[in-house]
Amino acid sequence: MITDSKGNKWYKGNLHTHTTSSDGAVSPGEAIKLYNGLGYDFVALTDHWHVNEPGEYNGTLILSGVEYDISVDGCYHVVGYGLERDPGLAKGAGPQQMIDAVRSAGGIATLAHPAWSLQRPDKMVQLKGVDCTEIYNSVSGFPFSARPYSGTLIDVATTMGFRAVLTAADDTHYYKEDVGRGIVYVKAAELTREAILEAILNGDVVPTNGPFIEWAVEDGYFVVRCPSGCRSVQFFTNNYYNPDTTTRGDCVREARFRIKSSDRFVRAEATDADGKTAYTQYYYNDPEKT
């Protein structure tokens, strides 16, 4: 848990975890113990087609979860967590049915690792009720695979009207290099299922590989603050070219981007000296803010 400059609490979590209940290398108990030992405040166990039980272990909140998948007319993996019951979905269900099932059971629906899945933005924008999507997924990267980062793909979908809260997750399978690279910090008043889910849906989430950042829109500027100091902050919008997208230095603690009327969205990434990146959420500069 991190306390920010305003005194808010940000709980550390992993929202996508496999165990021996599907194709993960360790048992649910071992997974929970491992993340607890690493200082995680909450973990969602999200096995393929297996709804795990919620619980608590030594101060770590365990969220129920599941991952549904289908590879017909594209590859879709939908992770759900915080479910109040097993929706009883049968294999063969399409992506919209997966999302609807998770939400009908009181869970949050996440379109997982869109870059790894080679997701098509025109298909993404047709899905209804996608609460979150993963901008970073650990196991989709080195040395297990090669597309951990989905920011560019999600940017394209966002220019087409896609809207989702950004998360990061380990998607832990091997319990080797796939641990501790895809982290979320969630700003919540207390460590309960209800408070964590509400905060995530509200976008009070910092997805990161390590560093913690704060961001805000202040007087027409998108402002990113890096308490621990970063090497660079880069801003992303719907425009191909912006003249001031990069702030860099040995220890950047604040970077500002002036939001132009042509910027329909703005987000940022801050990278530290170890090459680890923290991501902001999207700020939508339009009348229909979400």
Minimum CB separation of residue 170 from Zn ion in Å reads: 9
Residue with Cβ nearer Zn ion (123 or 256): 123
Q: Does 77 bind Zn ion (CB under 5 A)?
A: yes
Q: Which stretch binds Zn ion (CB under 5 A): 19-27, 74-82, 214-222, 239-247?
A: 74-82
Report the C-alpha gap between 158 and 284 in whole angstroms: 10
Minimum CB separation of residue 55 from Zn ion in Å reads: 20
Size of the site for Zn ion (CB under 5 A): 4
Report the C-alpha gap between 290 and 280 in whole angstroms: 15
Q: Does 134 bind Zn ion (CB under 5 A)?
A: no
Residue with Cβ nearer Zn ion (111 or 199): 111
**Residues 197-256 contacting Zn ion, CB under 5 A:** none
C-alpha 55 chain-centroid distance: 22
Minimum CB separation of residue 135 from Zn ion in Å reads: 15
Residue with Cβ nearer Zn ion (30 or 69): 69
Sequence-separated contacts (24+) of 179-182 with Cβ below 8 Å: 179/34, 179/38, 179/138, 180/38, 180/138, 181/136, 181/138, 181/141, 181/148, 181/209, 181/210, 182/14, 182/16, 182/134, 182/136, 182/137, 182/138, 182/148, 182/207, 182/209
Element (DSSP H or E) covering residue 256: strand 246-258
Mode of pairing for the β-strands spanning 277-279 and 246-258: unpaired
Residue with Cβ nearer Zn ion (67 or 263): 67
Residue with Cβ nearer Zn ion (12 or 113): 113
**Residues 108-127 contacting Zn ion, CB under 5 A:** 112
Minimum CB separation of residue 285 from Zn ion in Å reads: 32
**Alpha carbon separation from 38 to 1, 179, 211 (Å, rounded):** 11, 10, 15
Q: Which stretch binds Zn ion (CB under 5 A): 21-29, 63-71, 98-106, 227-235?
A: 63-71
CA quadruple 34, 36, 38, 42: dihedral sign: positive
Residue with Cβ nearer Zn ion (77 or 193): 77
Q: Does 155 bind Zn ion (CB under 5 A)?
A: no
Element (DSSP H or E) covering residue 257: strand 246-258
Binding mask 166-205 for Zn ion (x = CB under 5 A): -----x----------------------------------
Q: Does 67 bind Zn ion (CB under 5 A)?
A: yes
89 three-class SS: coil
Under a CB-based contact definition with an 8 Å cutoff, are residues 186 and 116 in contact? no
**Structure tokens belonging to residue 35:** 């993340």
Residue with Cβ nearer Zn ion (67 or 131): 67
Q: Which stretch binds Zn ion (CB under 5 A): 7-15, 144-152, 165-173, 278-286?
A: 165-173
Q: Give percent helix, percent strand, percent coil of the chain, each to the nearest 5.
A: 15, 40, 45
Residue with Cβ nearer Zn ion (114 or 211): 114
Task: Phi first, then psi: give them for residue 252, nearest 5 degrees.
Answer: -80, 120
Closest-by-Cβ residue to Zn ion is 77
Question: Which residues sit at the interface with Zn ion, rule CB under 5 A?
Answer: 67, 77, 112, 171
